[in-house]
Every structure is written in structure tokens, then in C-alpha cells.
């Protein structure tokens, strides 16, 4: 091993120690749910609140409002002819609106002023969307009705990564000496890979998302054969499927992903042609414009 | 004729595989561990090996590694209850053609065998699910979760009687007490010792099995393990005393899916029935009045309540149309006033009714009226405060 590599390893280890200490001490700053989404979600869950109040809460954020109107006006939801946010919400349904509010809030976590993190985050967000879409589609295919919850779990399964990336960057800056060595992107990814789930679970709990979402983030690394249609199984399968279709940034164990897809096909009773249809054009479907 | 080698330490599984594979017109040899499997391979050329992972003497990955070391390239399909990515990834590297997770459906076995052997399309074999150890049990079109309801007619096709509940408790009164608290139409079996329980589980298919946590001279964890292999789709719940500390945690350690406390509390039993049987009288139909029942379970089951209500209302509207009624009165008096769920349910009822040519009148308390009034699509539907007003 070269001396540069040894120094880098030592730096990576030092960073991981700092990170681990902060994770164990629950000292990782978790972002709060943006105020507009928090208010709207609160109103949706309040039986006394009226739809127009929810609509008014969403309209406070014009960008969010425009996203909802755009989706509700899409061909999939009946095309144009919408005159108000209330009509858009009626068309989308409350569960879909809830998912959109969480999705819009989560997307903000995948943005960073740091160029290195931002580059990684774009790929990670597209991967998260791919997992969410695939998990929801597979769940619907095998008759699971909790598809919106599964979509959210897929979307959030890696949400701990950008949060940890920010913490890691902060730690790296603290120990970096001018002229010294920076750790490689691989070491970054590996360090984050090991610790991100705990942070993802904590965020889901802080945002008061359904308990199944947090449980799925925690348990989606392996299949649970005792409960074939558990949300974690759909997310686990979708995660592996998106990896073997290269909709995932960084280094990952392709062998493990292929093994999980092979097991998942049998576990969920999916035929190859169905999987091919589900993944057709996946990369293009989840590509995001960072407006 | 193509020839397959089935390597599995379970005689029941080997017998089931042989039966299914022979039905495809393929010859089968059997071996009960990896060492026997290698000996068979040395004696005969096979077109396919169906290989279990966990076996005594020499396990599946061990046999596969030796097979490939010998330069033998016979196609291998793993047939196992092992789903850990590390293990499956290892055997994939050694060279496998496919993978089947136990318990499996014979249709899946037939399809994968035919694919590897490049056999033409043939009729599917018997559609039963094969358990990890014994006889066929109920099947469903989609992969079924624990305690999933078998599809209609399953018990007839498998030859095993379907029973809703099984109570295993050395005190006979426990089953009697529960019998008095569950709806009449539900079936309940009972056993007072482990031997009787195993015998019953061999003969019948249960949806939920309740086992006393403390049966004298019975190792609870071992009993649950044995019964699970006979009833792979049943939910297993522990019967524990209310005073027992850490009952939930202990039950999970012993292999249970949850706990039901003794003596039985009516609301807890109702909750249990809702969770495992969806058995609330959610929707009743009298003349042209569709009445929605109360939601009595925990909040996390509310989604299921609304889904069931939606489906049952749809069925009821269909019945009213078939009986030539011109309108449907939907009584929402007991509906939980949830803004995120009520409009969607009501919209679905309105749409179904319109499709069937029925007018809709609603009966609802003020809270529900207020929710419906805030939606453009529901605020114009006639809504009354009392059933008598709607009927008049």
C-alpha cells in the first residue's frame, strides 16, 4: 500500500469514528419538514379541517402548488381543465397529495451547495425515485393495496445518505489540513453506506410518517420470506432491480443485487417478461430536472 | 427422456418434486444430501439438478462447488428456504441457472424445470402450494402473506378441510370461551396437547393458530416450529396471561407472530378478528339502505376499514341495482369523520351508483356533512341528518 493510500485510509477511519460517535449520540442534525408541507399534512390529518384550508396552505409555496397542478393536469389524471387547487386535490386523491408533499420535501434534502455532494445526490435522488416507482408497481401487481406507503418507503430508503454526507463534509473540513490528503469518493460512499439507515429511520420518525415507512427503511436490506408481501420486500427487490439496471450512483455489490433479484422473482412470483416491462425506460422515467 | 436429480434432505419435499416433475414426462432420481448427490452424478448424466442449500453431511453450496471443480456443468436450480443475499450470491458465482424459494408453487417448479430443459409448453400441474415439510395446503393467485385467506374452493382441491381458528391450550375452557366470543359462522378447532395439535395440523388448514404460552411438558418454540412447517400460511399467536411481563418480546423470541391475552377482553378479540379476519359487520343492507358499521379497531387499521367498506358498498350498490331499486340511501352515521378518507369513499359510492343508474341520498352527522361540503364533487349530493328524513 502506498503512503498516500495509507494516509487516506487513516483519514477515512478518523471520519468514520467521528460520524459513528455522532450517530450513536443522536447528534446528527435532522432536517425539519418544510413548514408548508408540515402545515398541509397536519390539516389533511385533521378531521375538522376543510379542503380549501389545505389548498390555501399548499398555495403558500407557489412552486409546490404548481407541481401539484401540473401533475393533476397530466393525461394520467384526466388532462387539463383545472381551475383551482381544490379541484387538483380532488383529482389526485388525498393519499397521492400526501405522498407528493413528502416527496417535494425530501427532494430538498438531496440538494447541496457543495459540488461533490450535489453530484452524488442527483444520482441518489434518481435512484430513490426508481426504487419508489418500482416498489409501488410491483406491490400493485401482486395485489398489495398500501402502494402509496410503499412508494414513500422506497423514496426514503436512502434519505440518510445526503444527511450523512453533509455531516461527513463538516467533519472532513474540521480535520483537513492545508496541503493534506482528501479521502476518495469511494471511501465517502463506503462510510455513508454503513451508517445511513439509522439516520433515515430517525428522519421518518421525526417527520411522523407512517410507522411502516420507518420500519421499511430499517429492514429493506434483506428479504423477509416469512411475510412475502411486506413493504420491505418490495423495496428490497426494487432497490436491487434498479442497481442491476444501473440506476444507482457509486460503487455497489452487483453480485448481491443480482442475487436479490433472483430471490425476489421467486418470492414475489414475478415472470421475467413482467420485470422487463416494469424496468423498460426506467432511467428516463426517473430523470429529474433540478429547477 | 430427460432426467433430473433432486437433492433435498426432506423426504416429503423430494416426493413432491418427483411427483410434479414426472407429471412433465421427466425421469427423477433422488439424493438426501450433497454427498449422495455427488455419488449419483458420478453414476449418471443428469439434465438438471434441483438442489437444496441446508442439508446434513454436505450442504448444497458444498456439493455445487465440488461439482464445478470436477468440471461438471450440469444446470442447477436451487430450491431452498434460504434467501440471504450473501449465500445466494455465493451459489450464483458457482453457477446456477435459477432459484426457487420454499414454500413454492408447483407451477413455478414446472415452469423453471421446463425452461432449463427447454421443454415445450404443457399444462400446468396441480395448483397447490408445497410447504417446507409436508402436504399441500391452500393456494392463492398472488404470493400470500401469513394468514392470508385461501381462495374459494381451496380446501376442496387440496382435500384438507379449512378451519379459521385453532386453539391449543391444556385448559379446555379457553377454546369454549373464545367460541362464545367469535361470530357463529367462523370455525374453530382445539387441542389440549402437542400431539393432538400436530395431528390436527396434518389434517386441516388453519388461518390462525393460538397456542398457550405455558403448556405443561411442552417446549413451546419447538411446537411452533413443527406446526409452522405444517401450516406455512397460518399466523401463530401466543396465548399469554395479562400479568406476564414482556409477553410480546418473549413470544416473538419463541417464533410467534403476536400475542392474545387471557382472560379474553371483548374489544381485544374484536381487534384480533379485524386484523386477521376482516370480520366486522362493516356494511349491512336493508331494503335500499346501505349502512356502514362502526370502526372498532386501532388507528393503524383504519385504512383496511375504508378499503373493505368501499368494496362492500360497491357490492351492495350492485345488489340494489339488481333488485330494481331506483335510489340508494347510504347511512354514514357511524363512519369515522376522516377528511382524508371519507370523500374518496363517498365519491366511489356515487360513481358506482351513477354507473348502475341509481340516485344516491346520504345520511350523515354534522362532521361528515362538513367534510363533504368542502368537496366540489360531493357537496351537491342530498345529505340528511336522520335516516327517517332520507326515507320520507
What is the residue-level pLDDT of chain A in tens, covering all 291 positions? 455 556 666 766 777 777 767 777 777 777 888 888 888 888 888 888 888 888 889 888 887 888 888 888 877 666 667 778 888 888 888 878 888 888 888 888 877 777 767 777 888 888 998 999 899 888 888 777 778 888 889 988 988 888 877 777 777 777 666 666 566 666 777 777 777 888 888 888 888 888 888 999 998 999 998 888 899 999 999 999 999 998 887 777 889 999 999 999 999 988 888 888 888 888 888 877 655
A225 touches chain B (CB under 8 A): yes
Choose the mutation target among B113, B305, B339 for the interface with A, i.e. most A CBs under 10 Å. B339
CB spacing of B142 vs A229 below 8 angstroms: yes
pLDDT at B281 over 80: no
Closest chain A residue to B84 measured between Cα atoms?
Answer: A222
CA distance, residue A226 to nearest chain B CA (Å): 7
A98 touches chain B (CB under 8 A): yes
Using one digit for the tens of pLDDT, what is the confidence trace for B174-219?
Answer: 999 998 888 776 789 998 888 788 888 877 888 899 999 888 777 7
Using one digit for the tens of pLDDT, what is the confidence trace for B69-95?
Answer: 999 999 999 999 899 999 999 999 999
pLDDT at B295 over 80: no
Instruction: Kindly list the residues from chain A whose CB atom is less than 8 angstroms away from the CB atom of residue B104.
Output: 266
Q: What share of chain A is helix, strand, coil (3-state, %, to 5)?
A: 70, 0, 30
Mean pLDDT of B140-154: 32
Q: How many helices (H) and strands (E) does chain A have?
A: 15, 0
Closest chain B residue to A230 measured between Cα atoms?
Answer: B145
CA distance, residue A251 to nearest chain B CA (Å): 17
A87 touches chain B (CB under 8 A): yes
Instruction: Kindly list the residues from chain B whose CB atom is less than 8 angstroms away from the CB atom of residue A50.
Output: 339, 370-371, 373-374
A44 touches chain B (CB under 8 A): yes
* Residue with more model confidence, B301 or B103: B103
A52 touches chain B (CB under 8 A): yes
> CA–CA separation, A202 vs A288, rounded Å?
26
Return the DSSP state at A76.
G
Instruction: Kindly list the residues from chain B whose CB atom is less than 8 angstroms away from the CB atom of residue A146.
Output: 303
CA distance, residue A125 to nearest chain B CA (Å): 24
B229 touches chain A (CB under 8 A): no
Highest-pLDDT range among A213-217, B212-216, B272-276, B285-289: A213-217
Closest chain A residue to B348 measured between Cα atoms?
Answer: A93
> CA–CA separation, A237 vs A267, rounded Å?
10
The cell numbers describing B25, all together, are 414426462
Closest chain B residue to A212 measured between Cα atoms?
Answer: B300
Contact A192/A250 with Cβ under 8 angstroms? Answer: no
B239 touches chain A (CB under 8 A): no
ipTM of this predicted structure = 0.75
pLDDT of residue B51: 96
pLDDT at B129 over 50: no
B92 touches chain A (CB under 8 A): yes
H/E stretch holding B99: strand B98-101
Closest chain B residue to A255 measured between Cα atoms?
Answer: B89
B299 touches chain A (CB under 8 A): no
Give the N- to C-terminal CA distance of chain A in Å, as an integer: 44
Q: Burial level of B42, CB count in 10 A (0-12/13-18/19+)?
A: exposed
CB spacing of A145 vs B104 below 8 angstroms: no
CB spacing of A265 vs B99 below 8 angstroms: yes
pLDDT of residue B122: 39
Contact B162/B155 with Cβ under 8 angstroms? Answer: yes
A49 touches chain B (CB under 8 A): yes
pLDDT at B26 over 70: yes
Instruction: Kindly list the residues from chain B whose CB atom is less than 8 angstroms away from the CB atom of residue A46.
Output: 339
pLDDT at B359 over 60: yes
CA distance, residue A180 to nearest chain B CA (Å): 38
pLDDT of residue B197: 86
Q: Which pTM does this prediction carry?
A: 0.56
pLDDT of residue A154: 92
> CA–CA separation, B218 vs B335, rounded Å?
46
B50 touches chain A (CB under 8 A): no
Choose the mutation target among A219, A224, A228, A266 for the interface with B, i.e. most B CBs under 10 Å. A266
CB spacing of A229 vs B101 below 8 angstroms: no
**DSSP codes of every residue in A11-56:** HHHHHHHHHHHHHHTT-S-PPPPPHHHHHHHHHHT-TT--HHHHHH
Closest chain A residue to B89 measured between Cα atoms?
Answer: A259
CA distance, residue A53 to nearest chain B CA (Å): 10
CB spacing of A266 vs B108 below 8 angstroms: yes
A90 touches chain B (CB under 8 A): yes
A-B Cβ pairs (cutoff 8 Å, strict):
106
A78 touches chain B (CB under 8 A): no
> CA–CA separation, B47 vs B28, rounded Å?
10
pLDDT of residue A183: 63
| Rounded-to-10 torsion of CA A5, A6, A11, A12 | 70
A269 touches chain B (CB under 8 A): yes
Instruction: Kindly list the residues from chain A whose CB atom is less than 8 angstroms away from the CB atom of residue B377.
Output: 90
CB spacing of B83 vs A227 below 8 angstroms: no
Neighbours of A181 (CB within 10 A): 15
B99 touches chain A (CB under 8 A): yes
pLDDT of residue A180: 60
Q: What is the CA radius of gyration of chain A?
A: 20
Instruction: Kindly list the residues from chain B whose CB atom is less than 8 angstroms away from the CB atom of residue A225.
Output: 81, 83, 101
Amino acid at each position: 500500500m502506498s503512503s498516500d493510500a495509507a494516509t487516506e485510509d487513516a483519514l477515512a477511519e478518523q471520519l468514520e469514528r467521528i460520524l459513528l460517535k455522532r450517530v450513536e449520540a443522536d447528534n446528527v442534525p435532522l432536517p425539519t419538514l418544510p413548514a408548508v408541507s408540515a402545515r398541509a399534512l397536519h390539516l389533511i390529518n385533521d378531521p375538522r379541517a376543510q379542503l380549501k384550508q389545505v389548498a390555501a396552505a399548499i398555495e403558500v409555496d407557489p412552486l409546490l402548488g404548481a407541481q401539484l397542478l401540473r401533475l393533476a393536469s397530466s393525461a394520467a389524471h384526466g388532462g387539463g381543465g383545472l381551475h383551482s387547487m381544490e379541484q387538483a386535490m380532488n383529482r389526485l386523491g388525498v393519499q397521492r397529495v400526501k405522498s407528493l408533499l413528502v416527496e417535494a420535501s425530501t427532494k430538498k434534502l438531496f440538494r447541496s451547495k457543495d459540488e461533490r455532494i450535489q453530484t452524488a445526490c442527483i444520482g441518489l435522488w434518481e435512484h430513490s425515485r426508481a426504487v419508489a416507482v418500482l416498489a409501488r408497481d410491483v406491490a400493485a401487481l401482486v395485489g398489495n393495496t398500501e402502494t402509496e406507503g410503499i412508494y414513500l418507503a422506497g423514496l426514503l430508503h436512502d434519505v440518510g445518505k445526503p444527511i450523512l454526507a453533509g455531516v461527513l463534509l463538516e467533519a472532513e473540513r474540521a480535520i483537513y489540513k492545508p496541503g493534506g490528503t482528501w479521502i476518495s469518493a469511494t471511501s465517502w460512499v463506503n462510510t455513508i453506506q454503513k451508517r445511513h439507515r439509522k439516520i433515515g429511520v430517525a428522519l421518518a420518525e421525526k417527520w411522523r410518517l407512517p410507522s411502516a415507512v420507518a420500519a421499511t427503511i430499517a429492514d429493506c436490506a434483506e428479504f423477509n420470506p416469512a411475510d412475502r408481501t411486506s413493504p420491505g420486500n418490495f423495496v428490497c427487490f426494487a432497490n436491487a432491480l434498479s442497481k442491476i439496471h444501473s440506476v444507482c450512483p457509486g460503487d455497489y455489490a452487483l453480485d448481491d443485487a443480482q442475487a436479490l433479484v433472483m430471490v425476489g422473482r421467486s418470492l414475489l412470483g414475478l415472470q421475467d417478461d413482467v420485470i422487463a416491462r416494469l424496468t423498460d425506460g426506467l432511467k428516463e422515467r426517473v430523470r429529474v430536472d433540478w429547477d | 427422456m430427460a432426467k433430473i436429480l433432486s437433492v433435498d434432505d426432506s423426504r416429503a419435499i423430494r416426493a413432491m418434486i418427483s411427483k410434479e416433475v414426472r407429471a412433465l414426462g421427466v425421469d427423477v432420481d433422488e439424493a438426501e444430501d450433497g454427498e449422495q448427490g455427488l455419488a449419483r452424478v458420478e453414476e449418471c448424466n443428469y439434465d438438471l439438478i434441483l438442489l437444496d442449500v441446508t442439508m446434513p453431511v454436505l450442504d448444497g453450496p458444498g456439493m455445487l462447488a465440488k461439482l464445478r471443480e470436477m468440471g461438471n456443468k450440469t444446470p442447477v436450480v436451487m430450491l431452498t428456504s434460504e434467501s440471504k443475499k450473501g449465500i445466494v450470491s455465493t451459489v450464483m458465482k458457482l453457477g446456477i441457472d435459477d432459484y426457487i424459494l420454499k414454500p413454492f408453487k408447483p407451477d413455478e417448479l414446472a415452469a423453471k424445470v421446463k425452461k432449463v430443459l427447454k421443454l415445450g409448453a404443457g399444462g400446468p400441474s396441480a395448483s397447490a402450494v408445497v410447504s417446507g415439510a409436508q402436504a399441500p395446503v391452500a393456494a392463492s393467485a398472488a404470493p400470500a402473506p401469513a394468514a392470508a385467506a385461501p381462495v374459494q374452493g381451496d380446501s376442496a382441491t387440496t382435500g384438507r378441510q379449512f378451519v379459521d381458528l385453532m386453539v391449543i391450550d391444556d385448559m379446555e375452557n379457553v377454546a369454549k370461551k373464545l367460541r362464545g366470543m367469535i361470530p357463529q359462522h367462523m370455525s374453530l378447532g382445539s387441542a389440549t396437547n402437542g400431539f393432538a395439535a400436530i395431528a390436527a395440523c396434518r389434517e386441516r388448514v388453519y388461518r390462525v393458530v393460538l397456542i398457550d404460552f405455558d403448556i405443561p411438558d411442552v417446549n413451546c418454540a419447538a411446537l411452533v416450529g413443527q406446526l409452522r412447517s405444517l401450516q406455512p400460511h397460518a399466523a401463530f399467536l401466543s396465548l399469554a396471561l395479562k400479568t406476564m411481563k414482556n409477553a410480546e418480546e418473549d413470544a416473538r423470541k419463541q417464533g410467534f407472530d403476536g400475542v392474545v391475552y387471557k382472560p379474553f377482553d371483548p374489544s381485544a378479540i374484536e381487534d384480533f378478528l379485524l386484523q386477521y379476519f376482516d370480520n366486522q359487520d362493516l356494511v349491512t343492507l336493508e331494503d335500499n339502505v346501505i349502512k356502514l358499521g362502526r370502526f372498532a379497531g386501532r388507528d393503524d387499521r383504519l385504512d383496511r376499514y375504508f378499503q373493505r367498506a368501499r368494496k362492500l358498498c360497491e357490492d351492495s350498490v350492485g345488489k340494489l341495482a339488481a333488485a330494481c331499486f331506483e335510489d340508494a340511501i347510504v347511512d354514514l352515521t357511524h363512519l369515522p369523520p376522516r377528511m382524508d378518507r371519507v370523500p374518496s369513499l363517498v365519491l366511489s359510492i356515487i360513481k358506482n351508483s351513477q354507473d348502475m343508474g341509481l340516485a344516491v341520498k346520504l345520511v350523515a352527522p354534522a362532521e361528515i356533512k362538513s367534510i363533504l361540503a368542502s368537496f366540489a364533487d360531493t357537496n351537491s349530493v342530498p345529505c340528511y341528518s336522520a335516516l327517517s328524513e332520507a326515507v320520507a
